[in-house]
Amino acid sequence: MLEGLQIGESFVGEGAHAAHVNTVLGHREGPAGVAWASALATPSAGHVPFVAVLRPSLPVKPLTLFVTKSAPDSDEHGLLIWGPAQAGVAAGVADAVAEGSIPAAHGDTHVLIAAVWVNPGATDADEIYRNNREATRTALRNGAHGLPSLDDVLAARDTPSNPFYTPGSPA
């Protein structure tokens, strides 16, 4: 398991209900703590970071700042961000602690920032929840283990692809 600042990424699911989560985990008294507090104190139009909770008045530990990658484009989209995506992130953090990707001792000493994408075209709350839970858990595991490996990155450099672009595919 890596010490210090841990950065993770995971993409789970397909189409409008896919989850893309980036995580930054570190000590409250280090750069992660400064970034966490700064982000919470400086919201911008459409991007209001908030503390992820498992239920009202029960924040997940380590304290997790949920940061949207897309501004809500409708009331329904906002509810999917604040509801199932947030619940999935909170549960995924708790899963990461339960499985040991985050040591339990870090619950009160570390903070987590989760940057989360919820597609404005998404409609299925349960799928959004499941995908964000798994993406968060996986991003934290990846961060704890320094994944992906540099060998994997170098092996894929000539064949990049993502859900929005694959070289040589028709537009």
- Please report the pLDDT score of residue 130 as a whole number: 98
Mean pLDDT of 143-169: 91
* Domains contained in the chain, CATH given: 6-145 (3.30.230.60)
pTM attached to this predicted model: 0.94
Tell me: pLDDT of 14 over 80: yes
User: In the chain, what is the straight-line distance between the N-terminal and C-terminal CA atoms, in Å?
Assistant: 41
**In this structure, which amino acid lies at residue 96?**
A
Give 64-95 pLDDT, tens digit per residue.
999 999 899 999 999 999 999 999 999 999 99
Q: Is 17 a catalytic residue?
A: no
Number of H helices, E strands in the chain: 5, 7
Of all residues in the chain, what percent carry a pLDDT higher than 90?
A: 87
- Please report the pLDDT score of residue 171 as a whole number: 63
Mean pLDDT of 6-25: 97
Classify residue 100 as exposed, middle or buried by CB count within 10 Å of its CB (0-12, 13-18, 19+): exposed
Residue 114 binned pLDDT confidence (cut-offs 50, 70, 90): very high
